[in-house]
Chain A
Amino acid sequence: MNLDWDRLGPLLWQAGGETAYMVLITLVVGGFLGLLLGLGLYLTRPGNLLQNRAVFAVLNVAINVVRPVPFLIFLVALGPLTRAVVGRTIGIEAFTFAMCFMATFVFARLVEQNLVSIDPGVVEAARAMGASPLRIVRTVLVPEALAPLILGYTFLFVGVLDMSAIAGYLGAGGLGDFAIVHGYRQYDWAVTFVVVVIIVAVVQVVQLLGNYLARRALHR
């Protein structure tokens, strides 16, 4: 173990920043769009507030098509769209765009699954009090499913971190790239190990925070 921290330290710091950039933007954009898409999926489901068989079918199929594609392949396959939107197909911005795209679809399914478990009686009660669908989304669906939504969001964080490593390896930089370039390729297991420890620690902290917030949201 001869870690050259004078050399690696600043590089690791930069890699951490790149990862944070990708993950945070993806969590914000993907989380927001995923919430909307998941709500759309739930609301248009037959028997629900804005039931619409056609819209539900389109959303449902779209999610089922996107979600199972391995992210490495998705990243490459999304190239043309990425170019159209971001202007290029590689680099941290381009890959972050692809991550937001995937995260939206992943989170949409998580959101829908959590909303389905809400007691329909509560929604009916709100309808009986004259609440509009938009109000019901805001004051019933999201607050009632808040705890599982927080846990789902925490779960999404780990998935996004995983995506960021793949994106990083393809040229976006970040911790994953750092572990490969400065650790794996140099046969320097210590560097790889340090990165793994950092990632595990971050995930642990985020998970603890998620659990804490979810428990508070449950009012237990």
Chain B
Amino acid sequence: MSQPIISFRDASKIFPGRGRRAEVRAVDGVTLDVAEGEIFGVIGYSGAGKSTLVRLVNALEKVTGGSVVVDGTDLTGLSEARLRGVRAGIGMIFQQFNLLSSRTVAGNVAYPLEVAGWSREKRRERVRELLDFVGIADKADVHPRQLSGGQKQRVGIARALATNPRILLADEATSALDPETTQDVLALLRRVNRELGITVVVITHEMDVVRAICDRVAVMEHGKVVELGDAYQVFSAPQHDVTRRFVSTALKDRPSPEVLARLRERHPGRIVTVGVDEVAGSSALITRTLREHGVDGTVVYGGITEVAERPYGSLTLELVAASPGVRPLPDGVAPADGVDAAVAALRRVTDVVDLGTAADPHEDPSVVRRGVGQAPDDGPGGEERRARVIGGPARQVGGGPFGGPSGMTGGNDLTTGIIDDGGKR
């Protein structure tokens, strides 16, 4: 990666306690780089510190430890007057839009231009251009009160882009919008990134947002970054429980224990969950493997979606040895062994979680449990399978710019182990 446009180095923000209230470590030793021109996501539950983290970028909050460097300028210790200059070069949009109700749409968009000292004529011209870009040119003279949520956020985006910033910070920008409007606004953010080349930092608690637009992502919990990397990589091979919980909100592809119990009632055969992704586990490969071993696979559960525009998900199959009368078995394969052999073969092409049969059930090792960092080994399958969940790190996922805009690590000790694996993936 070229020079990162934003870099945090061991950045901390501690709000001091007062009286009986304990101090809050909102951001706790975060080290990460945001590359110029990317869409970087910060995902976490509320209270994880992501909003504070993003406010360190435009110094609405100041670090209490470590440093934040934005576009080559170290913000630590800058005077308030200098910081105002930095802020003027960074756009920001908000969950509640934060438009001035005392001004019209055009007046709101003109606000940062007034701050920057643009002349009236230049302001008028620029405002028209911006409202055109976000597609609400007809609403210029309307007051924000009369707009829908999606329109308000478009005004927010136009306002944030007014002074041609190089960075746009989006703080839960779609959380107050309905799903359809969310997609519109996300598409607009993608355009901002692609057409204007603006680096976008997106704060969200919605997995769908990251899935739709983020190139890279940091997962936050308790003020720390617990996972960091390429969005596809992080979500196709989640290492941390928080990450797994987010993945499960976006795609309910894995049967819960309750669902699994019902599946076993209905399907007495061997139940396995296989990972599906763009290369290794394409469903064609899975189908072929089963056919080669004379095994019928019935899809009983599953889901496939896209992460970072690449397919990702899993299918849960009931595997039953095809009766010899229907299809001839390959030489030397006994019907009873067929399923075992097929499972072994599937393991060579994708990730497999063997859930056993109704008579001999295996627990799903990847069911998210608090305090369990890695899934335990769930039976035979060799060292290679250890701790591997669907999309686990041992899998070679081909293609794509993995490890790509690399600055993803830069020695972030918080994510050691996760990141070190990342390079080898």
Binding site for B on A (CB under 8 A): 119, 121-122, 124-132, 135, 139-140, 143-144, 146, 217, 219-220
Across the A-B interface, the 10 shortest Cβ-Cβ residue pairs: A130-B88, A143-B102, A125-B98, A121-B98, A129-B112, A128-B92, A130-B87, A130-B84, A219-B143, A122-B98
Would you call A130 and B116 a contact (CB within 8 A)?
A: yes
Would you call B102 and A130 a contact (CB within 8 A)?
A: no
Asked if B1 is an interface residue, CB under 8 A from chain A, the answer is no
Distance to closest chain B CB from A118 (angstroms):
10
Would you call B100 and A122 a contact (CB within 8 A)?
A: yes
Would you call A130 and B112 a contact (CB within 8 A)?
A: yes
Asked if B145 is an interface residue, CB under 8 A from chain A, the answer is yes
Contacts of A135 in B (CB 8 A): 115
Contacts of A127 in B (CB 8 A): 60, 87
Would you call A128 and B60 a contact (CB within 8 A)?
A: yes
User: Can you show 17 pairs from A to B with CB atoms below 8 A apart?
Assistant: A121-B94, A122-B99, A122-B100, A124-B60, A124-B94, A125-B92, A125-B94, A128-B60, A128-B169, A129-B87, A130-B85, A130-B115, A131-B111, A143-B103, A219-B102, A219-B143, A219-B145
Would you call B84 and A131 a contact (CB within 8 A)?
A: yes
Contacts of A125 in B (CB 8 A): 92, 94, 98-99
Residue of B nearest to A121 (CB): B98
Asked if B243 is an interface residue, CB under 8 A from chain A, the answer is no
Q: Complex Cα distance A135/B99, Å?
A: 16
Contacts of A119 in B (CB 8 A): 96, 98
Contact with A along B75-110 (1 / 0, CB 8 A): 000000100111110101010101111110000000
Q: Complex Cα distance A146/B101, Å?
A: 11
Binding site for A on B (CB under 8 A): 58, 60, 81, 84-88, 90, 92, 94, 96, 98-103, 111-112, 114-116, 143, 145, 159, 163, 169
Would you call B96 and A121 a contact (CB within 8 A)?
A: yes
Would you call B100 and A143 a contact (CB within 8 A)?
A: yes
Contacts of B143 in A (CB 8 A): 219
Distance to closest chain B CB from A96 (angstroms):
33
Residue of B nearest to A126 (CB): B111
Would you call B101 and A219 a contact (CB within 8 A)?
A: yes
Secondary structure type dominating chain B contacts: mixed
Distance to closest chain B CB from A112 (angstroms):
19
Would you call B100 and A140 a contact (CB within 8 A)?
A: yes
Q: Complex Cα distance A128/B96, Å?
A: 15
Among A122, A129, A139, A140, the residue within 8 A (CB) of B88 is A129
Would you call B87 and A128 a contact (CB within 8 A)?
A: yes
Q: Complex Cα distance A139/B102, Å?
A: 9
Distance to closest chain B CB from A39 (angstroms):
16
Q: Complex Cα distance A130/B366, Å?
A: 47
Contacts of B103 in A (CB 8 A): 143
Q: Complex Cα distance A217/B60, Å?
A: 30
Contacts of B87 in A (CB 8 A): 127-130
Interface centre among B98, B112, B116 (most CB of A within 10 A): B98
Distance to closest chain A CB from B150 (angstroms):
18
Distance to closest chain B CB from A50 (angstroms):
11
Would you call B102 and A124 a contact (CB within 8 A)?
A: no
The answer to whether residues A128 and B100 also contact, given A139-B111, A219-B143 and a CB cut-off of 8 A, is: no
The answer to whether residues A128 and B115 also contact, given A121-B98, A122-B100 and a CB cut-off of 8 A, is: no
Residue of B nearest to A125 (CB): B98
Distance to closest chain A CB from B291 (angstroms):
59
Q: Given A130-B86, A130-B115, A219-B143, 11 more contacts at CB 8 Å?
A: A122-B99, A124-B60, A124-B98, A129-B111, A130-B87, A130-B116, A131-B111, A132-B84, A143-B100, A143-B103, A217-B102
Contacts of B159 in A (CB 8 A): 129
Would you call A129 and B100 a contact (CB within 8 A)?
A: no
Distance to closest chain B CB from A124 (angstroms):
6
